[in-house]
Chains A and B, each alone.
Chain A
Amino acid sequence: MNIELLTLAEVENISGSEGNFKVTVRQKPRIIDMEKCIACNLCAEKCPKKVPDEYNEGLVPRKSAYIKYGQTVPLKYAIEKETCIFFVKGGNKGQKGKGKCRACEKYCPAEAIDLDQDFQDEVKDINVGSIILTPGFKSFDPSSFDTYQYSNFKDVVTGLEYERLLSSNGPCMGHLVRPSDGKEPKKIAWLQCVGSRNINKCDNGYCSSVCCMYAIKQAIVTAEHTTGDVEQTIFYMDIRTHGKDFDNYFGLAKALGIKFVNTRVHSTTPGPNGGVEVEYFNEETGQRVVEEFDMLVLSTGLEVSKSVQELAGKLNIKLDKYKFAESSSFSPSATNVPGIFASGCFQAPKDIPQSVTDASAAAASASIALSTQRGTLAKERTFPPEKDVTGEEPRVGVFVCSCGINIAGTIDVKALSEYAQSLPNVVFVDNNLFSCSQDTQVMIKEKIAEHNMNRVVVAACTPRTHEPLFRETMKDAGLNEYLFEMANIRNQNSWVHSKEPEKAFEKAKDQLRMAVVKASMLSPLEHLSVNVNQSALVVGGGVSGMIAALGLADQGYETILLEKTDRLGGNAWSLATTWRGEEIKPFLEDLISKVENNPNIKLYKNARLKTSKGAVGDFVSEVEIEGEKRAIKYGIAVICTGGQELKPNEYLYGEDERVFTHFEFDKELLEHKPALEKAKGAVFIQCVGSREPDRPYCSRVCCTHTMHSALELKKTNPQMPVYVLYRDVRTYGAREDLYREAREKGVIFIRYRWKSKPTVVKDGEDLVVTVKDHVLNRDLEIRTSYLVLASAILPADNKDLVDLYKCGLNNDGFLQEAHAKLRPVDLSVDGMFLAGLCHYPKPIDEAIAQAQAAVSRATTILSKAVMPLDSIKSYVTDNCDGCAICVDTCPYGAISLTGYELDGVEHKKIDTNNALCKGCGICEATCPKHGVYVHGFTNEQLKAQIYAALENV
């Protein structure tokens, strides 16, 4: 309710400055009245005007009256003035009721369309303190590449088009067929790097970062969308699966038989069998190959659209050479204009987890800048006082939804409503076209009062999406929100039994009877909340930890920062510059000084966390600081325990002083430059300890680090031979420029395979590296002065933390976030967040963004003195005898065993923690004695439902 959604709107102009901007927004008319629209689809069905559907990438048409997709927010139709027949033909020409078409107006059952109004753009000035720009990207248009024949062949599609073809709400309803003839493709190829890593046919020199993963995903899910065998081939330059668990996915694809061919396709022509023929050079066999595929998918890259570039122009936002918003490694969400922040693909091509993380980081930046004004404009919804219904006989109101034709098309809703009338305790029944529409909520509220209802049942769709709405209506009507029950007669009935309407009707009766019985037994639940201790704990004093602590402290929250060593800064001390070339040391020194001098930060060095109790809002821990124990209290925690560089045990590391890791070589570059100038040469070996069976992940930063060091060497001595022995070069985003520059400066790249790793031996005084050259297919011997090993990044040992907080690790030992995409900085334990290398290897700019994101997520809790909790929680009954079976089965650690004394005898029973409990019910199912129940799902309530279900059996 504190988000005002302005759709069909664009920013026109901006004035003012940081903290106080005036933004002029132009909003196009939706034509359809949002208050009245019930999203029944009749306007779109009756609209005669077909236009290309942007949501489906133009593969199929939509109508001028439309919604983007079935789940769109707001779920309200719109009429496109530019294409609508009524408006194109000049509207009503000042005569009410006149003008062409008006089909939508005529058929709209909700009277949401009145074409006689004067529809004009609305221009408004909006006053805000900060602005966040997330205008996104556009998929590269490959029409200009004649090589790929995108414009000429229907069966050559872009990655996004293919995504729509796969989708169950796309043009083929999830059953993949090729566009030209509607036949199921049996052989599909993906062509990587179309519109990326290319300065020949386009100006996109950068890597789009996401296409390798999306091609692999599409290849894997293709099998699910087709019948029988399919053959998938991915033509690539380097496979860039540098994200968390990405390499496992790549491995899975190979195991599933998806072919990966390392080449760039030379040309495409029509095939003899109606497909598309591609010609390429097979590097392994040295042969020219011509192969026909049923479909080609161009893995098109990401770029900034012209309209977004114009927006940037209006706001004076500086763009980089690739037209992305310029940003710095140390304040990744800032733009050149103070108070305006950027995130998402407007900054650089990035995947969903990175976009979500950066979006939270931008929110943190905006929040820190405006923290004195927090709560001044946000509104809080108020409800009438709750009516006490204790002791009242149940009076149930039943609302049966038609859901347009979704339910009514299969189930006789009128008859179902009549049946509902016959059920015990039911005092009122109504049938609604859409029970979820705004006007129905008003009506439900009126009927509750009129019939003095104290329980409500809605027979409609899934509580997952709609229960919150109806619960609000209950509160609005002055009833406890938990006196409500839903029967899902759509997803679990009409949708799946549409061919058997009679049986569906019988099932709907069962569902309704169960819901009414349960509703009659519901009792009001207490509103739960926790008092939030508005202070924070940050574990780890590296860059991530310091950024997190500062972000929280700068908003006024007291923050405890624990560092296990005697020095802040962590790995950053071993790094010279970022990939953009910014010097790290001055930044680090400044950051440390800010942390040490911030009055809201309590810094404990040589400190270790020993115990942890409590839950979100109210944690208590014991920490040991230089041998002394101390109790601390905090509402949230951010874990930034970092990682470390692997010390290799191969390639003569530790046996010959000319063999370095990256950290060591950075130091060498700083301290012994003169020796380097005279060196005979340098060799870099990539993936040392990464992407191997024991450590299958990619360490993400090493390719870029190598480019940087190799370029430094070439700068010191342009004649020096520099070799990079690699498996896939993973210089994602604009880091690709470094790779290109390295090649231009003469760095030689030789690809090796994991199964034939390079070898290193000492030949007299010489250090000799031998590698099989992939082009010549024979061994190459390189004598070198320096050997730099791009060794893996390991996570810190987090076992103790995992034991203390019951958070999880992934198979590689990194902390596991709550959801890879949608909650990338939250841990699975509420109130706990993570940032930096403990999550996954990453460069400093990404670690900073992640730490800021953790600040934003933590602020959503810390900004409230009291945090409301859901009331569906477990509770102990008198039957509990303390057998403790449930203590072990609870997955959230919410149940503990306590002792009490009765008549001088010691007894045991369990205690449940409301902040930790998620109401999953495992305890109730486990307990043999009815000793623990979950509110709203007690054994008696569930039993009654079962008896009701089996009534007629």
Chain B
Amino acid sequence: MSQEKVGAVMVVGGGIAGIQSALDLADAGYYVYLVEKTAGIGGVMSQLDKTFPTNDCSM
């Protein structure tokens, strides 16, 4: 590879998976761009009422 590596990562999609990837990488010393199509992150999980097994709200 001719170009130098860049210490930043782009995560495309701000649902629970994208949020987890972004958090892990930011905590591990990388700069993260989290790209989300809608006006806020959270994805489908934020639409769920309660989740197994704890039946706590998924907020």
Contact = CB atoms under 8 A, between A and B. Distances in A.
A876 B45 CA distance: 43
Interface string B25-48: 111111111111111111111111
A947 interface: no
A98 B13 CA distance: 37
A822 to B, nearest CB: 8
A308 to B, nearest CB: 9
Contacts of A54: 38
Nearest to B38: A68
A129 B18 contact: no
Interface in A820-866: 820-821, 856-857, 859-860, 863-864
Which among B16, B26, B39 has the highest number of chain A CB atoms within 10 Å?
Answer: B39
B47 A6 contact: no
A23 interface: yes
B49 A352 contact: no
B13 A72 contact: no
A953 B57 CA distance: 38
Given A20-B4, A20-B6, A68-B39, A249 B12 contact: no
Interface stretch (A190-198, A357-365, A600-608, A897-905): A357-365
Given A136-B17, A352-B45, A2 B26 contact: yes
Contact of B35 (A10, A163, A343, A370): A10
B24 A134 contact: no
B25 A366 contact: yes
Contacts of B27: 860, 863
Contact of A363 (B12, B15, B25, B54): B25
Nearest to B24: A363
Interface string A155-176: 0000010011011101000100
B12 A134 contact: yes
Contact of A74 (B28, B40, B46, B52): B40
Contacts of A885: none
B39 A66 contact: yes
Given A2-B31, A136-B44, A217-B50, A8 B37 contact: yes
Nearest to A372: B5
Given A73-B40, A163-B49, A11 B17 contact: no
Interface stretch (A373-381, A491-499, A513-521, A767-775): A373-381
A136 B13 contact: yes
B55 A859 contact: no
A412 interface: no
Contacts of A16: 3
> Interface residues of B toward A: which range?
35 or more
A137 B26 CA distance: 25
Given A5-B34, A356-B20, A128 B10 contact: yes
Contacts of B17: 134, 136, 343-345, 355-356, 358-359, 362
A307 B12 CA distance: 13
B7 A859 contact: no
Contacts of A135: 12-13
A71 interface: yes
B18 A132 contact: yes
A849 B26 CA distance: 20
A901 B47 CA distance: 61
Contact of B13 (A134, A174, A218): A134
A368 B59 CA distance: 31
A129 B28 contact: no
A73 B45 CA distance: 13
A67 B20 CA distance: 22
Contacts of B40: 7, 67-69, 72-74
Contacts of B14: 5, 7
Interface residues of A, number: 95
Contacts of B29: 374-375, 378, 863-864
Contact of B39 (A30, A221, A864): A30
B49 A6 contact: no
B36 A344 contact: no
Contact of A127 (B8, B37, B44): B8
A11 B37 CA distance: 9
Contact of A249 (B11, B36, B42, B52): B52
B10 A23 contact: yes
Contacts of A369: 5
Contacts of A166: 49-50
Given A11-B35, A127-B6, A370-B6, A136 B15 contact: yes
A610 to B, nearest CB: 31
A17 interface: yes
Contacts of B44: 136-137, 139, 160
B58 to A, nearest CB: 8
B16 A344 contact: yes
A367 B28 contact: yes
A863 B28 CA distance: 6
A287 B15 CA distance: 45
A373 B26 CA distance: 13
Contacts of B39: 7-8, 30, 66-68, 72, 78
B32 A352 contact: no
Contacts of A374: 7, 28-30
Contacts of B5: 19-20, 129, 369-370, 372-373
B29 to A, nearest CB: 4
B12 A128 contact: no
Interface in A272-330: 307, 311
A307 B13 CA distance: 12
A382 B59 CA distance: 30
Contacts of A25: 33, 35
A66 B38 CA distance: 11
Nearest to A354: B17
Contact of B28 (A69, A820, A856): A856
Contact of A132 (B21, B37, B45): B21
A218 B20 CA distance: 25
A43 B59 CA distance: 24
Contacts of B3: 16-17, 19-20
Contacts of B42: 68-69, 71-73
A863 B54 CA distance: 32
A73 B34 CA distance: 12
A199 B5 CA distance: 45
B21 A343 contact: yes
Nearest to A225: B49
Given A2-B31, A3-B22, A860-B24, A134 B15 contact: yes
B50 to A, nearest CB: 5
B21 A360 contact: yes
B10 to A, nearest CB: 4
Contacts of B10: 11, 21, 23, 126, 128, 130-132
Contact of B8 (A67, A221, A377): A377
Interface string A639-669: 0000000000000000000000000000000
Contacts of B19: 359
Contacts of B1: 17-20
A-B pairs, 7 with minimum CB distance = A344-B17, A373-B7, A72-B40, A860-B27, A359-B20, A19-B5, A134-B18
Given A129-B6, A358-B17, 10 more contacts: A4-B33, A5-B34, A21-B6, A73-B40, A132-B12, A363-B24, A375-B7, A377-B8, A857-B24, A859-B28
30 contacts: A3-B34, A5-B36, A6-B36, A9-B36, A11-B12, A19-B4, A55-B47, A71-B46, A72-B41, A73-B42, A126-B8, A128-B6, A129-B6, A129-B7, A129-B8, A131-B11, A132-B9, A136-B43, A136-B44, A137-B44, A160-B47, A163-B48, A363-B20, A366-B30, A367-B25, A370-B5, A373-B30, A375-B29, A376-B7, A860-B24
Interface of A: 2-11, 16-21, 23, 25, 30, 54-55, 57, 66-69, 71-74, 78, 126-137, 139, 160, 163-164, 166-168, 170, 174, 213, 216-218, 221, 245-246, 249, 307, 311, 343-346, 352, 355-356, 358-360, 362-364, 366-367, 369-370, 372-379, 820-821, 856-857, 859-860, 863-864
